[in-house]
A and B are shown apart, each in its own frame.
Chain A
Amino acid sequence: MGMGGEKEQVRYGDYLSRISVSFQKLSYNAITPRPELAPDGTEKPYSPPKVKLRVIDFYHILRPYIGSRLEEQLKAVVPLALYLVCFQTLVLRVNIEDPLVIFAGFVSVIGGLVLFMEGLKVGLMPLGEKLGDSLPAKASLPVFIIITFLIGVGVTFAEPAVGSLNIAGSMIKVENAPYLHALLNKWQWATVAAVGAGVGVSAVLGSLRFVHGWGLKPFILIATLPTLALTVYAMGDDRIKSVIGLAWDCGAVTTGPVTVPIVLSLGIGIARMAGKGDYPLSGFGIVTLASMIPVAAVLALAIYLAETVPAEQIIANANTAETSNSHASGNFFERPPFAEMLEGLQAVAPVVIFLLLIVRFVLREKFKEPQILAYGLTLTLLGMMLFSVGLTYGLSKLGAQYGALAPAAFTRIEGLEGSPLFNWWAGMLATVAFAGLLGFGATVAEPALSAIGMVVEDLTNGVYKKSFLIYSVSFGVGLGVIAGMLKIITGVPLAYLLIPGYALALILTVFSTEEFVNIAWDSAGVTTGEVTVPLVLVMGMGFSGALGIDDGFGILAMASLFPILTTLGAGLWIKWKISRSHL
């Protein structure tokens, strides 16, 4: 080992032992306890004393624990925010309004997500798993269906991105689209409840699918066709035409970080009970249904509203509510940021309490580590409160600003000097391409997608690479965002894009294998996470507001549709390539 040139030969081991730290030896016998006898002569079971920690130990334990979780959220949020800020200051050359408030908002988003995700992991998820493990065994089928349905409703309210509907609602003028305004303001609870009911039905159907081992293809047909039919019906009704975009966007809102893991853990528990847990994709499918059925539910609610409440009444109601609101700001809880915190608490507390009650009184199970569970649930609540504040002051504020200013690149905007900044085509293309890149970038970094990618690679023995799935889905999201932006700019009704799009998706579905159908339809729901949804939703609202168009929804709907097409297409292409190489 490089000693050849020297005269004196030293054994390598001796050399090493010289440069090493000296080890201090301690007999383990000096530490381990000796058996103690109880007064009656039997041996007492040993219980170790609590560890006494020095301050430095706290630091050493907590630093990697907090650090790794903080890093995860920073990676998800900061690039997106920087990208938007750069576009606004460098391309549009407009300074960020209220930079300190937005900065504080983003700090609160990141802090909130760190707490919420950790709370989800140590609090809500174990509860969901416990439920999934023992509910099918201990409850009869009807009880089981009711509980699953209620959990579906509860998790929808707890979804962080749902809060952004509120903000989007405040950006709509009631005169232009009364029913859309009603669904997002006075009837907002009903909208969320309709979405929740949709998720609940999906959870029940998905669970039954596990128990009986039904394929996903017929379910997709059964869920998609009525939804498309309702969309066509809504198209023909001038009063509720404006609701279509919102309804389809709701599908993307539901499939977030709370719904997916809890509903999945329920489903997996059931699959295990039914003895069908070996099928590697058994968890899939619920997400697909949960992003389709709520759309139908919201459309149905809109149709019901249109039939029962006249538009004039909604406009009158909204106007009186506005005037009374401006007077009632004296109350402590209605002042920001306490209002947002209260909202956050109201969103999560019901599902937490419901899950606890079910596990305690229906399943009669004890919690193994109650203090850790309590810690997790507290974190979930605190995290959601903090996130709600950040949602209003960080994500939405920046998204709305960007959305309102972006059209200045290609069209005239009131109050912005020098607009349009570029000629129509160049500016429009730049803005749309920028948004597309944003969608692509946000999706590539999505951890949920990377997890699905791993499963897919295993399942197809490496034919369908993980990176290939990630890129085909991300490419789809990018295209979808572009399509959504073009829809807003050109004013093409969303249904003209949705109906042929989903028709094509259904055709591709018929020709694809069961595995790919699962993967492709689920990846669409998974891609739109808790940071992207509010940002894109509010950006679209601001964008359309600046262009003088009422309906700013639809970007998320497009961003859910296109990944299905690209993933199914890519799957079929690979299948074709393999079959050709075997000839």
Chain B
Amino acid sequence: MKDAFNEKKITALTDVALITCVVQRGMADEVIKAARDAGAQGSTVFYARGYGVRERLGLLGVAVDVEKEVVNIVVSTDQANRIFEKMSVAAKMDTPGMGFMYMTHLDKAVTYIPPEVLEKLQPKC
């Protein structure tokens, strides 16, 4: 594994999936909690504005916030379906105006991996 020219080593994770969940402002924490409880390791939230069902609800649209939170969670493919399911239940996705979520498969991902985990999984060749 050791590269003679470059001491620096990058470990890329494979079998990763991205779950993106768009919810109303203030709802992200609940969704993230569900995902973390199901084993998700981290999450990123950013703010956005979104339109969709709100405009088709008429006056009831006031109950749906235009301001959204977009939750990005990277999970392993083994976890993916379970976390996706937990998140969709927590976000009450079956209710009109609550939001939208989807999962995409990722080619690879790089992040910090604790050295002891690396050592356990990749014994020195």
Can you list 13 A-B contacts with CB-CB less than 8 angstroms, sorted by A residue number? A12-B78, A13-B78, A16-B81, A20-B85, A48-B55, A50-B57, A57-B96, A58-B60, A61-B63, A61-B97, A62-B60, A65-B63, A375-B59
B11 at the interface (CB under 8 A from A): no
A interface footprint on B33-76 (CB within 8 Å = 1, 0 otherwise):
00000000000000000000101111111111000000000000
Q: A51-B96, A57-B96 are in contact. Are A17 and B81 (CB under 8 A)?
A: yes
Q: Nearest residue in B to A62 (C-beta to C-beta)? A: B63
Query: A122–B63 Cα gap in the complex (Å)?
Result: 11
When the two chains form their complex, are residues B78 and A16 in contact, meaning their CB atoms are under 8 A apart?
Answer: yes
The smallest beta-carbon distance between B93 and chain A, in angstroms, is: 11
B92 at the interface (CB under 8 A from A): yes
B interface footprint on A112-147 (CB within 8 Å = 1, 0 otherwise):
000000000010000000000000000000000000
Could you say which interface size class chain B belongs to? 20 to 34
When the two chains form their complex, are residues B77 and A50 in contact, meaning their CB atoms are under 8 A apart?
Answer: no
Query: A48–B63 Cα gap in the complex (Å)?
Result: 19
> Interface residues of B: mostly helix, strand, loop or mixed?
helix
A interface footprint on B16-34 (CB within 8 Å = 1, 0 otherwise):
0000000000100000000
When the two chains form their complex, are residues A375 and B96 in contact, meaning their CB atoms are under 8 A apart?
Answer: no
B104 at the interface (CB under 8 A from A): no
B interface footprint on A344-387 (CB within 8 Å = 1, 0 otherwise):
00000000000000000000000001011001100000000000
Q: A48-B56, A51-B56 are in contact. Are A61 and B81 (CB under 8 A)?
A: no
Interface residues contributed by chain A, number (CB under 8 Å): 27
Q: Nearest residue in A to B27 (C-beta to C-beta)? A: A64
Q: Kindly list chain B residues whose C-beta atoms are within 8 Å of the C-beta of A17.
A: 81
Q: Contact partner of B53 among A20, A51, A372, CB < 8 A?
A: A51
Query: A49–B57 Cα gap in the complex (Å)?
Result: 10
A interface footprint on B93-108 (CB within 8 Å = 1, 0 otherwise):
0011110000000000
When the two chains form their complex, are residues B62 and A372 in contact, meaning their CB atoms are under 8 A apart?
Answer: yes
Q: Nearest residue in B to A54 (C-beta to C-beta)? A: B96
A577 at the interface (CB under 8 A from B): no
Query: A65–B57 Cα gap in the complex (Å)?
Result: 14
Q: A20-B85, A60-B92 are in contact. Are A53 and B60 (CB under 8 A)?
A: yes
A583 at the interface (CB under 8 A from B): no
A37 at the interface (CB under 8 A from B): no
Q: Kindly list chain A residues whose C-beta atoms are within 8 Å of the C-beta of B82.
A: 16, 19-20
When the two chains form their complex, are residues A49 and B56 in contact, meaning their CB atoms are under 8 A apart?
Answer: yes
B79 at the interface (CB under 8 A from A): yes
Q: Kindly list chain A residues whose C-beta atoms are within 8 Å of the C-beta of B26.
A: 68
The smallest beta-carbon distance between A15 and chain B, in angstroms, is: 9
When the two chains form their complex, are residues B59 and A13 in contact, meaning their CB atoms are under 8 A apart?
Answer: no
The smallest beta-carbon distance between A454 and chain B, in angstroms, is: 15
When the two chains form their complex, are residues B96 and A53 in contact, meaning their CB atoms are under 8 A apart?
Answer: yes
Query: A68–B62 Cα gap in the complex (Å)?
Result: 14
B interface footprint on A28-71 (CB within 8 Å = 1, 0 otherwise):
00000000000000000000111101000110111001001000
Q: Kindly list chain B residues whose C-beta atoms are within 8 Å of the C-beta of A48.
A: 55-56
When the two chains form their complex, are residues A57 and B63 in contact, meaning their CB atoms are under 8 A apart?
Answer: no
Q: Contact partner of A13 among B53, B57, B77, CB < 8 A?
A: B77
**Most-contacted residue by chain B among A13, A17, A68 (CB, 10 A):** A13
Query: A372–B66 Cα gap in the complex (Å)?
Result: 13
Q: Kindly list chain B residues whose C-beta atoms are within 8 Å of the C-beta of A376.
A: 62
A21 at the interface (CB under 8 A from B): yes
